[in-house]
Amino acid sequence: MAESPPQSGAEKEKPSALALLRRFWPFARRHKRWLLTGVAVIPLVAVMTTVRPLLVKEAVDVSIPAGDGRGLQRLALLFMAAVVVEFVSMALQVYALQRAGHASIYDLRTTIFRHVLCLPARFYDKTPLGSLLSRSTSDVEALGETLSFGVFTILTDVVMIGAILTSMFALSWQLTLISLSVAPLLFVLVRWFSTTLRGLQLEIRRAQGVQSGYLTEQLSGIGVVQLYAHEAHARSTYEALGERYLRATKLANIFDSLLYSLMDGISAFCVALLLYFGAPALLGDVGAFGDLAGASSGALTLGTLFAFASYLQRVFVPIREFSSKLATIQRAAASLERIFGLLDTPREARSELDHPGEFDGAEDPLARWTGAVRVRNLRFSYDYEGGAPEVLRGLDFEIEAGEVVAVVGRTGSGKTSLGRILTQLYDGYHGHVELLLDDGTSVELAELPPDLVRRRLLMVQQDVFLFDESAGFNVTLGELELEGDPGRVERALETVQAAEFVRERGGHEAAVGERGGNLSVGEAQLLAFARVAARSPTMLILDEATASVDSLTEQRVQEAIERLLEGRSVLVIAHRLSTVRHADKIIVLADGEIAELGDHETLMANEGLYADLYRSGFAEDPE
């Protein structure tokens, strides 16, 4: 039953950029209409680009020598029409491809969020938040940039280069070959520049990731940073990390601008080459190189030279773009690899995403759950495959319906782990955890989807988390059924005695601040209790807070707990003497095993571990 550990994706064989793009295809395919529109106009853009120099050639070679003014005007009109068609089709193409790109990125972003919501607690234990954030934000951004400006428009570049070269060959293969004589040099240069740039881009992404990871960590621990006057150290570390980024960016900028001007230089060099061989040949002076330009065939005209010069300038633009886009694609491939690595991490067992609507229409197996639980030979390790030791080692106990069972034990004895298994935060236990139904049958916990279980079995954790929303939202958490029933929310607030302070702060709409910063610790706790009370679970697991609050709040919290426990099965990870004493049954854990089990009186009479713990007061209890 043990779950396989999350794969990082990094250890696996590196997939090729093409394989990654192929995996991305399902996201793009949904926006086929815009993609096809964008791709469909590519030939039109390419044809219009090649047509204009031909019109100039026609004017120079035919209309001007013939003194045909009308013909020249006609050519000028055609030229204008070509410009308009090229402009409109280019605008349409950019719009359509960008739209498809952005929509695919939106889908990918949503898919990532849906996925990370269902990742098991084990994954979060091992993955730093900063890395997760950078994968879901900056990697996706990088990809978006590529998709909008790179992958799809690269097609245009290829078609454009093809169309221009074809026109050039058709006009004069000799001049084309003369111009292309620099191609090997160009190839070597572009390759060298793009490899260097790719390395620098990777370094930029790494430096960016490390710096934003540091920022996230410092901001989440801002309290410690300020209280311990850690600001100066944090500032200098952040600046040092920023410098690494800046260094890589500076170098990348130098190479980028060098590549740009080199391309311009080469295109000018080609025009010069063209003039060197072409112009004398046109005048009948073939010189030492013979008729390399093919003037004797009669194909070489002044118009051809004009057209060639214009083609040469045009062909270098897509070549330059093509090489920088290849680098962008490499960058996107790195981002895609990280993103798919995340999407390949197995989700929680039987998560809603993998079993959509599994119980829709069918009877909810827990509708008849009495609240009783039978645990047999329960063993658990956080990482069986990694050889981590078992933290629960063969537990046997029952919780009867409506019973309050306290779990006590020294720190690290496995109390919280037990709660995490029952709420399915961690799966992969060995043994049996059976939920007993009212007809005497039972269902095994591991066979139920977590969503279903968590509707009936809730856990209140020690560290209360409140969202930066209204008090009401923090009770309903946006659940439609609760949002539509403010009376139920109010009753829940009253049950845990939170109604009064919520009213004083402006009612259900009152803002609680980030992490409940506008509330006291005790108030935040009461609001978290109201969250549970509104849902009326069949069973409740309560991880009692050890944090001390003032004695008045302490009393209110205690009363709220007592009301919460009424009428339901409860497993309480107890830190308060009063809770333990009033429990129906007490499980004493020691090193993952049940050391003692019984009620308070019996265990005290045993004079064992429980009596020791009790006399030492568990946590500092004000009782």
Ligand X SMILES: Nc1ncnc2c1ncn2[C@@H]1O[C@H](COP(=O)(O)OP(=O)(O)OP(=O)(O)O)[C@@H](O)[C@H]1O
Compare residues 442 and 461 and give the one whose CB is closer to ligand X. Answer: 461
Cα separation, 88 vs 76, in Å, equals 18
CB of 372 to ligand X, least distance (A): 23
Can residue 424 be called a binding residue for ligand X (CB under 6 A)? no
CA dihedral 550, 551, 554, 556 (to 10 degrees): -110
> How far apart, in Å, are the Cα atoms of 592 and each of 418, 425, 444, 602, 603?
9, 18, 22, 22, 19
Cβ proximity to ligand X: between 106 and 382 the closer is 382
Whose Cβ is closer to ligand X: residue 54's or residue 391's? 391
Site for ligand X contains 412 (CB under 6 A): yes
Burial class (CB in 10 A: 0-12, 13-18, 19+), 214: middle
Which listed residue (409, 428, 472, 516) binds ligand X by CB under 6 A?
A: 409
Query: Least distance to ligand X from the beta carbon of 613, Å?
Result: 11
How many Cα atoms occupy the beta-carbon half-sphere of 72 within 13 Å? Answer: 10
Please identify, among the stretches 210-218, 292-300, 407-415, 503-511, the one whose residues bind ligand X according to the rule CB under 6 A: 407-415
CB of 136 to ligand X, least distance (A): 22
Q: What does each C-alpha distance from 13 to 16, 20, 102, 127, 341 come to in angstroms?
A: 9, 12, 29, 21, 12
Residue 287 vs 412, nearer CB to ligand X: 412
Angle at 444 between CA 439 and CA 447, to 5 degrees: 120
Environment class of 377 (CB within 10 Å of its CB; exposed 0-12, middle 13-18, buried 19+):
exposed
In whole angstroms, how close is the CB of 413 to ligand X at the nearest point? 4
Sign of the Cα pseudo-torsion (130, 133, 138, 143, in order): positive
**Pattern of binders to ligand X over 79-118, x per CB under 6 A?**
----------------------------------------
Q: How far is the CB of 189 from ligand X (least distance, A)?
A: 53
If the CB atoms of residues 69 and 412 are measured against ligand X, the closer one turns out to be: 412
Does residue 381 interact with ligand X by CB under 6 A? no
Residue closer to ligand X by CB (options 315, 418) is 418
The verdict on 415 binding ligand X (CB under 6 A) reads yes
Smallest separation, CB 524 to ligand X (Å)? 20
The residues in 20-39 that bind ligand X, with binding defined as CB under 6 A, are none
Residue with smaller CB distance to ligand X, 333 or 391: 391
- With CB under 6 A as the contact rule, the residue among 172, 304, 416, 569 that binds ligand X is 416
Q: How far is the CB of 349 from ligand X (least distance, A)?
A: 17
Q: Which is nearer to ligand X, 417 or 476 (CB)?
A: 417
> Burial code of 220-255, b = ≥16 C-beta within 10 A, e = fewer?
eeeeebeeeeeeeebeeeeeebeebbeebbebbeeb
Q: How far is the CB of 234 from ligand X (least distance, A)?
A: 27
| Shortest Cβ 382–ligand X spacing (Å) | 4
To ligand X, the closest distance from the beta carbon of 545 in angstroms equals 11
Binding of ligand X by 579 (CB under 6 A): no
Applying the rule CB under 6 A, the residues between 215 and 274 that interact with ligand X are none
- Is residue 562 within 8 A of residue 608, CB to CB? The reply is no
Query: Rounded to an integer, what is the distance from CA 451 to the centroid of its chain?
Result: 22
Amino acid at 434: E
Q: How far is the CB of 106 from ligand X (least distance, A)?
A: 34
C-alpha to C-alpha distances, 381 to 120, 389, 411, 591, nearest whole angstrom: 15, 6, 17, 13
Q: Least distance in Å: CB of 384 to ligand X?
A: 12
Q: Are 345 and 7 in contact (CB under 8 A)?
A: yes
Structure tokens at 25: 């295809």
Based on the shown chain and the rule CB under 6 A, indicate whether residue 120 belongs to the binding site for ligand X. no
Minimum CB distance to ligand X, residue 595 (Å): 12
Q: Which member of 7, 69, 76, 125 binds ligand X (CB under 6 A)?
A: 125
- The stretch among 146-154, 342-350, 406-414, 452-460 that binds ligand X (CB under 6 A) is 406-414
Nearer to ligand X, 533 or 613 (CB): 613
Nearer residue to ligand X within complex by CB, 303 or 450: 450
Structure tokens at 243: 């410098």
In a 3-state reduction of DSSP, which class is residue 394?
strand
417 binds ligand X (CB under 6 A): yes
Residue in 170, 147, 202, 153 with CA at minimum distance from that of residue 28: 147
414 binds ligand X (CB under 6 A): yes
Three-state SS annotation for 85-128: HHHHHHHHHHHHHHHHHHHHHHHHHHHHHHHHHCCCHHHHHHCC
Number of residues that bind ligand X (CB under 6 A): 11
Task: State how far the Cα of 288 lies from the Cα of 579, in Å rounded to an integer.
Answer: 106
Q: Binding segment for ligand X among 44-52, 257-265, 409-417, 602-610 (CB under 6 A)?
A: 409-417
Query: Could you give the angle at the alpha carbon of 146 between the alpha carbons of 143 and 147, nearest 5°?
Result: 85
Q: What does the alpha-carbon distance between residue 329 and residue 17 come to, in Å, rounded to a whole number?
A: 8
CA atoms of 378 and 422, how far apart (whole Å)? 11
> Is 436 or 460 the residue whose CB approaches ligand X more closely?
460
The answer to whether residues 574 and 604 touch, using CB atoms and an 8 Å cutoff, is: no
Quick check: 413 binds ligand X (CB under 6 A)?
Answer: yes
Which window, 28-36, 410-418, 441-449, 494-502, contacts ligand X (CB under 6 A)? Answer: 410-418
Closer to ligand X at the Cβ: 415 or 488? 415
Residue identified by tokens 């069949």 is 538
Contact call for residue 382 and ligand X (CB under 6 A): yes
Beta carbon of residue 6, minimum distance to ligand X (angstroms, whole number): 13
Say how far apart CA 493 and CA 471 lie, in whole Å. 10
Binding site for ligand X (CB under 6 A): 125, 382, 391, 409, 411-417
